[in-house]
């Protein structure tokens, strides 16, 4: 990976994030010196396969896809870094874009323009650091288009069995570990002690993850991303992936904000924006 493939955002108070332009994948978010994002030690940065970790962009299809690669092409294409700037409060921001190409049109024959923005922000009054990610798609075709999308967040955790996820109680979910059947979550907090791969539908705008990196909590606040995927491959599945270290699965948990239970349909010239804000709450 050469330096031209990486965009780094930095804030004065020992916070930074690094973004690999390939798939516009953020693969490091250091908050007050603590790495908050998981990336496998065996991950590829070879522009051939999605990074095993970070925040890969899933578009235009979540999951297996008859027209192209699983999770779509966005996370395995080189995006254009179009802007690196700071706002009036000196919060750094980076913008990347990807338009349809001959290659994408062979898979998915639609003309579109997509943007990803990452912004590190610090709210002085709340003493809170956050990482904001916006995913925008504009339909520039003369016909309507439909897609699913997701921010595939890999969070770094000291011990996945100690992590709790709020905001899922009472919700219906598709359980990919149990044959894709639908179930209702009956736990106030979701915990992980085995392979978990669930698509929770119509989830609230906020989830609180406790016991993530540095013993902190992370609050996920999302808009226009109505579903939430929770995934940990556990030992056997992790061992079957060449880009996943054998003993790494206890140090990660994916909690992913997406529009996946049904397609988002855009009329010609219509634009969609899905956003998430990850806010770090230091444990007092
Ligand atoms: O988001 C969870 C999931 O859909 C799992 O089913 C698992 O396949 C994971 O994504 C990783 O997919 P990948 O294609 O990156 O190996």
Closest CA to 23 of 41, 5, 35, 9: 5
Could you tell me the sign of the dihedral formed by the alpha carbons of 36, 37, 40, 45, in that order?
negative
Residue 156 Cβ inside 6 Å of ligand 1? The answer reads no
Cβ–Cβ contacts within 10 Å for residue 284, how many?
A: 3
Q: The domain containing residue 102 runs over which residues?
A: 6-156+227-275
CA distance 109 to 159: 43
Q: Percent of the chain at pLDDT above 70?
A: 99
In this prediction, residue 135 carries a pLDDT of 98
- Greatest alpha-carbon span in the chain: 54
In this prediction, residue 136 carries a pLDDT of 98
Closest CA to 112 of 123, 99, 125: 99
Query: How many domains are contained in the chain?
Result: 1
* In the predicted structure, residue 141 carries a pLDDT above the cut 70: yes
256 is catalytic: yes
Question: DSSP characters for 161-197?
Answer: GG-EE-S-TT-EEEETTTTTEEEE---SSB--SS-EE
Band (134; pLDDT cuts 50, 70, 90): very high
Residue 52 assigned ligand-binding role: yes
The number of angstroms, rounded, from the C-alpha of 198 to the middle of its chain's C-alpha atoms is 15
Cα angle vertex 173, ends 178, 243, to 5°? 60
CA distance 220 to 213: 15
Helix or strand or coil: residue 250?
A: helix
Whether 29 is covered by a domain: the verdict is yes
CA distance 176 to 198: 6
Residue 263 assigned ligand-binding role: no
Q: Percent of the chain at pLDDT above 90?
A: 88
* Residue 255 to residues 22, 31, 91, 191, Cα–Cα distance (Å): 22, 19, 25, 12
* In the predicted structure, residue 4 carries a pLDDT above the cut 80: no
Helix or strand or coil: residue 231?
A: strand
* In the predicted structure, residue 163 carries a pLDDT above the cut 70: yes
pTM: 0.97
CB 80 within 8 A of CB 98: yes
Strand partners for 122: 129
Ligand 1 atom with minimal separation from the 52 CA: 15
pLDDT digits (tens, 9 = 90+) for 207-238: 999 999 999 999 999 999 999 999 999 999 99
* In the predicted structure, residue 3 carries a pLDDT above the cut 80: no
Whether 202 is covered by a domain: the verdict is no
Residue 27 Cβ inside 6 Å of ligand 1? The answer reads no
CA distance 204 to 226: 7
In this prediction, residue 47 carries a pLDDT of 87
* In the predicted structure, residue 61 carries a pLDDT above the cut 80: yes
**CATH code, domain with 71:** 2.70.98.10
Band (126; pLDDT cuts 50, 70, 90): confident
Q: Which residue has the higher pLDDT, 115 or 87?
A: 115
The secondary structure of residue 37, as a DSSP letter, is B
* In the predicted structure, residue 20 carries a pLDDT above the cut 70: yes
pLDDT digits (tens, 9 = 90+) for 91-106: 999 999 999 999 999 9
The catalytic position among 152, 185, 207, 248 is: 152
* In the predicted structure, residue 13 carries a pLDDT above the cut 80: no
The complex scores an ipTM of: 0.99
Whether 220 is covered by a domain: the verdict is no
Residue 75 assigned ligand-binding role: yes
Whether 205 is covered by a domain: the verdict is no
Q: What number is the average pLDDT over the span 23-51? A: 95
Residue 174 Cβ inside 6 Å of ligand 1? The answer reads no
Whether 207 is covered by a domain: the verdict is no
In this prediction, residue 56 carries a pLDDT of 98
Q: What number is the average pLDDT over the span 83-94? A: 92
Whether 114 is covered by a domain: the verdict is yes
When mean pLDDT is compared across 10-24, 62-76, 244-258, the lowest value belongs to 10-24
Query: What's the mean pLDDT when you consider all of the chain?
Result: 95
Residue 69 Cβ inside 6 Å of ligand 1? The answer reads no
By alpha-carbon position, which residue is closest to atom 6 of ligand 1?
197
CA distance 220 to 232: 18
Measured in degrees and rounded to the nearest 5, phi and psi for residue 105 equal: -70, -25
In this prediction, residue 284 carries a pLDDT of 64
Burial tier of 213 (Cβ tally within 10 Å: 0-12, 13-18, 19+): buried
* In the predicted structure, residue 2 carries a pLDDT above the cut 90: no
Whether 179 is covered by a domain: the verdict is no
Cα of 102 to ligand 1 centre, how many Å? Answer: 26
Residue 55 Cβ inside 6 Å of ligand 1? The answer reads no
Cα of 15 to ligand 1 centre, how many Å? Answer: 29
In this prediction, residue 282 carries a pLDDT of 81
Whether 204 is covered by a domain: the verdict is no
Band (138; pLDDT cuts 50, 70, 90): very high
């Amino acid at each position: 990976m050469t330096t031209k493939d990486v965009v780094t955002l930095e804030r004065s108070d020992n916070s930074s994030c690094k973004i690999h332009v390939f798939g516009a994948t953020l693969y490091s978010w250091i908050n007050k010196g603590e790495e908050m994002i998981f990336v496998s030690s065996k991950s590829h940065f070879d522009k051939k396969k999605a990074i095993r970790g970070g925040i890969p962009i899933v578009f235009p299809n979540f999951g297996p896809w008859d027209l192209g690669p699983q999770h779509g092409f966005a996370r395995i294409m080189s995006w254009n870094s179009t802007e690196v700037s700071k706002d009036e409060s000196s919060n750094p921001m980076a913008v990347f874009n990807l338009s349809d190409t001959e290659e994408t049109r062979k898979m998915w024959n639609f003309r579109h323009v997509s943007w990803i923005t990452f912004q590190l922000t610090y709210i002085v009054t709340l003493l809170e650091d956050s990482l904001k990610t916006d995913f925008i798609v504009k339909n520039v075709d003369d016909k309507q288009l439909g897609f699913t999308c997701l921010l595939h967040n890999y969070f770094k955790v000291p011990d996945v069995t100690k992590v709790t996820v709020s905001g899922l109680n009472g919700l219906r979910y598709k359980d990919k570990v149990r044959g894709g059947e639908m179930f209702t979550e009956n736990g106030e907090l979701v915990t992980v002690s085995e392979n978990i791969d669930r698509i929770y539908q119509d989830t609230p705008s906020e989830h609180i993850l406790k016991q993530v990196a540095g013993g902190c909590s992370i609050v996920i606040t999302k808009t226009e991303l109505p579903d939430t995927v929770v995934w940990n491959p556990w030992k056997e599945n992790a061992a079957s992936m060449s880009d996943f270290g054998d003993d790494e699965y206890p140090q990660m948990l994916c909690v992913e904000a997406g529009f996946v239970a049904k397609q988002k349909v855009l009329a010609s010239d219509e634009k969609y924006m899905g956003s998430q804000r990850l806010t770090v709450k230091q444990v007092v």
